[in-house]
Amino acid sequence: MHWTCLLPGLQDLRVSALTHMPTCTILRQSALLTAAGWTTADSIPSPVELFGLDRAGKVASCSVSIAETGGRSRQAYVGTAMAFGAFAPATVLTVSDGKPWRVADIVGEGAIADLAFENVLRTFDRTSPLPCAAAIWDVLRQTAARGSGESLLLPCRLEPTVQSGDAPFLRPATIAGRGYLELIAKLFQEAIARDPARSYIALCRAWLREPNDGREEFERALFLPALWYACALTASDSTYRLQYDSLQHSSYIFVSGGDTPAAPVERGACTFLTPASTLECRLTWPDASWSPLSAGFILAAE
């Protein structure tokens, strides 16, 4: 017999304690920071140790439960020069002056350029800049034109450019006059294990480089690979800056290096809702002085 049947009073107490815990709503696709790096909420078991900020603004971990709410909501995106993430309209972000803002209100009021956000992408010594090769593979498989366990064929808008010897796990291919990049699983796994940041940077540059503008162009659906790319650049002491189509909408995340790298506190550069709807998740954690991070943004309890 289950213990809750014997101790219904204690069950009530547990429920009561849970209802008073801080919670927030995100999407299944929202990115959360684990020791293995940024990953989507739907690919993490619950409860999980997530990284966030404590009351002093220092990076700290906390045990967080993740549960689907059963509800669906439109996908909303928020971007700065440093970070870009997918959120539910009900998600509450903490802006740089410490005030909470619902994403729906930021979008609705068109207030993005008036708000600044503190972004935390990496914890340096406590989390990996990139997840393991298998996790990267799973995400890239969704965008591949063709895939198997051994290789993925990634579509390139332009002819892929692979420096010889730089990335043995990549093979440029031209099929019916259009460019693809073949990613070889075994070699990619070895390269990521050996030098994750350098290998991942080589992949993104060969795959998504727009040489005329000197930047990598990630379609919006590839926001997680873009986030990993930003982390990989930071891990290899390179600077970057994210740019978008406009303040009000973007189909792409443009990642460029350059003279004006993104700062930890940056003004909002883009926010919008999309027609796509997706399942919501609820995060619940026990420490009210701690705040989870999502795609580099600081979440606030609802």
Partner 1 sequence: MSAVALLTTRSSDYDVPASTKLGGTTIYAPDDEQLARGLSTLADLIERHTRAHLTLTRTTLNSLVRDDTGVETDRRIFGAVLGWRLRLGVLDSIPCAATSGKLYRVFTHVEQYPLFLSHLETLKSRLHTRRVLKVRDAEHAVFGQRRWGTWSSSLHLLARLVCTGHACYLDSKTFAYPL
Residues interacting with partner 1, by CB under 8 A?
74, 76, 107-108, 110, 113, 143-146, 153-155, 157-158, 175-178, 180, 219, 245-249, 251-252, 271-276
Round the CA-based radius of gyration of the chain to a whole number and report it.
20
Nearer residue to partner 1 within complex by CB, 198 or 249: 249
Instruction: Spell out the SS3 assignment of 110-166.
Output: CCHHHCEEECCCCCCCCCCCCCCHHHHHHHHHCCCCEECCCEEEEECCCCCCCCCCC
Instruction: Provide, rounded to whole angstroms, the least separation between the CB of residue 146 and partner 1.
Output: 5
Query: What sign results for the dihedral spanned by CA atoms 145, 218, 48, 190?
Result: positive
Nearer residue to partner 1 within complex by CB, 108 or 257: 108
Find where tokens 């808008």 sit. Answer: 157
How crowded is residue 171: how many other Cβ atoms within 10 Å of its Cβ?
A: 17
Nearer residue to partner 1 within complex by CB, 44 or 279: 279
Nearer residue to partner 1 within complex by CB, 9 or 177: 177
234: left (phi over 0), alpha (psi -120 to 50) or beta: alpha
Instruction: Provide, rounded to whole angstroms, the least separation between the CB of residue 242 and partner 1.
Output: 17
Nearer residue to partner 1 within complex by CB, 145 or 265: 145
Pairwise CA distance, residues 221 & 190, whole Å: 27
Among residues 171, 174, 178, the alpha carbon closest in space to that of 151 is found at: 171
Instruction: Provide, rounded to whole angstroms, the least separation between the CB of residue 152 and partner 1.
Output: 11
Nearer residue to partner 1 within complex by CB, 21 or 173: 173
Would you state the structure tokens that stand for residue 168, as one six-digit string? Answer: 């043995």
Paired residues of 218 in beta bridges: 253
Instruction: Provide, rounded to whole angstroms, the least separation between the CB of residue 5 and partner 1.
Output: 45
Instruction: Provide, rounded to whole angstroms, the least separation between the CB of residue 69 and partner 1.
Output: 20
Instruction: Provide, rounded to whole angstroms, the least separation between the CB of residue 74 and partner 1.
Output: 5
Q: Find out whether 84 and 78 touch, Cβ atoms under 8 Å.
A: yes
Nearer residue to partner 1 within complex by CB, 136 or 144: 144
Nearer residue to partner 1 within complex by CB, 171 or 198: 171
Strand runs (DSSP E) across 41-91, as ranges? 48-53, 59-79, 84-87
Q: Find out whether 140 and 183 touch, Cβ atoms under 8 Å.
A: yes
- Identify the H or E element spanning 174: strand 170-175
Instruction: Provide, rounded to whole angstroms, the least separation between the CB of residue 293 and partner 1.
Output: 25
Residue 15, judged by CB atoms within 10 A of its CB (0-12, 13-18, 19+), counts as exposed
Instruction: Provide, rounded to whole angstroms, the least separation between the CB of residue 176 and partner 1.
Output: 4
Kindly report whether the peptide bond that precedes residue 131 is cis, defined as omega within 30 degrees of 0. no
